[in-house]
A and B are shown apart, each in its own frame.
Chain A
Amino acid sequence: MSSRDGSAAGAELIAHLGHELRAPLAIVVGYAELLQRRDDPELREEAPQRILEAAERLTAAIDDLLVVFAAETGALTFEPAQLSLDALVDESVDAVRARNGFRCAFHVERDEAGPVEVQADEEHLRAIVIHLLENAARRSPDESVVEVTLRRTPLFAEVVVADLGSPVDVEAAFEPARGSHSNRGAGGSGLELYALRCLVELHGGRVHAANNAAGAVFSATLPLAAP
């Protein structure tokens, strides 16, 4: 990448950063001012939840921005260990379901050869799996069943998450400024797929997006643990 390309990408990221922070902040400021000026029971009832959701978006945006900037400056570190992908997916499914109010369910299809072990940083792996699951939950209608497949390829472990959302622009899905519009307004930071890509690539894996008849499929590969 030339320095011009790099500065253009940096400018795009900064513009995106502004959007991802200012958009939820607008909701916080808007509700706060409306509450201050108006004594309305309906407003009093709905405002706290909307403000909390906006605050969650801000927190998620800050977390993802920290990952992205650390990755781009070479400061993202990791401590690989042998981890059970199956166990981490099970734990993450429970966490994501609880967080999104059990709006959708996850069906996990496991590798027929048995539990999959990967060589990964535990914190980063948890973030990768949660980002994949939350992305699918946000994109899918209520009561959906998101299909999660765990499998081995000769060199990698793969997590494949098939949702029931609208088609995605597969070329731009993991880019910082384009891929995440569908997540906005539902708890997504807007940078989560780019942060996901940074975390996966740090491990030497790859991310992939595709469309199918039912929705979209997002997947990540991670290095298998040594047998």
Chain B
Amino acid sequence: MTHVLVIDDDPSMRRVIRLALERDGAEVTEAEDGQQGLELARGGDFALVVLDWNMPGPAGPEVLDELRRGRPELPVLMLTAELTARDGGLALAFGADAFLAKPFSPAELARIVRSLVR
């Protein structure tokens, strides 16, 4: 079973992501901020990380940078809620494997996760 780490400070957003991915057969672990996400990523056997771009504390880009240092092979899907796709492009420049702009289709999220862990 694909084990996915979801790092997002919005509990309702984490819930939507969990429902979408569990429906697709994945196991989901949630982190409510970047710090907790990094701690979980260090110790957990995750196949992929879903990471929010805009969070308090260490934000998405900082978390991504840390993940790349410790777990360079771990695929990261960045979620952005900015008005333009600029941050999506930045997410890829920072080293994310894919990005998805909010609002997104849960089915599309599940499809991207499947393609990244294949």
Select A34's contact among B55, B103, B106, beta carbons within 8 Å.
B106
Count how many chain B residues have C-beta atoms less than 8 Å from C-beta atoms of the other chain. Answer: 25
Of the candidate stretches A18-26, A62-70, A78-86, the one touching chain B is A18-26
User: In angstroms, how far is the closest chain A Cβ from the Cβ of B7?
Assistant: 14
Give the chain A neighbours of B106 by CB distance below 8 A: 30, 33-34, 37
Known: A30-B19, A30-B104. 13 other contacts (CB 8 A): A14-B83, A15-B83, A19-B54, A22-B83, A23-B10, A30-B106, A34-B20, A38-B23, A43-B19, A46-B15, A53-B12, A184-B9, A185-B12
Asked if B81 CB lies within 8 Å of chain A CBs, one says yes
A214 to B101, CA, bound (A): 37
A29/B83 contact (C-beta < 8 A), A23-B10, A181-B9, A185-B9 known: no
Give the chain A neighbours of B16 by CB distance below 8 A: 26-27, 30-31, 34
User: In angstroms, how far is the closest chain A Cβ from the Cβ of B15?
Assistant: 7
Give the chain B neighbours of A14 by CB distance below 8 A: 83
Q: Do B107 and A28 touch across chains, with their CB atoms under 8 A apart?
A: no
Q: Do A26 and B102 touch across chains, with their CB atoms under 8 A apart?
A: yes
Select A22's contact among B9, B19, B55, B103, beta carbons within 8 Å.
B103
Asked if B84 CB lies within 8 Å of chain A CBs, one says yes
B9-33 Cβ-contact flags toward A at 8 Å (1 or 0): 1111101110110010000000000
Q: Which B residues fall within an 8 A CB radius of A?
A: 9-13, 15-17, 19-20, 23, 54-56, 81-84, 101-107
Chain B CB within 10 A, most for which of A33, A37, A182: A33
Select B104's contact among A17, A18, A26, A182, beta carbons within 8 Å.
A26
Give the chain A neighbours of B12 by CB distance below 8 A: 27, 50, 53-54, 185
A191 to B11, CA, bound (A): 19
A27/B13 contact (C-beta < 8 A), A33-B105, A33-B106, A37-B107 known: yes
Select B10's contact among A25, A34, A38, A185, beta carbons within 8 Å.
A185
A185 to B13, CA, bound (A): 8
CB-nearest residue of chain B to A15: B82
CB-nearest residue of chain B to A166: B56
5 sample A-B contacts, Cβ–Cβ < 8 Å, listed by A number: A15-B84, A17-B83, A18-B84, A19-B83, A22-B101
A26/B15 contact (C-beta < 8 A), A18-B84, A19-B82, A184-B10 known: no
A29/B105 contact (C-beta < 8 A), A34-B23, A53-B12, A184-B9 known: yes
CB-nearest residue of chain B to A46: B15
A18/B11 contact (C-beta < 8 A), A31-B16, A33-B107 known: no
Q: Do A182 and B103 touch across chains, with their CB atoms under 8 A apart?
A: no
Give the chain B neighbours of A27 by CB distance below 8 A: 10, 12-13, 16
A223 to B33, CA, bound (A): 40
A208 to B13, CA, bound (A): 31
A25 to B82, CA, bound (A): 12
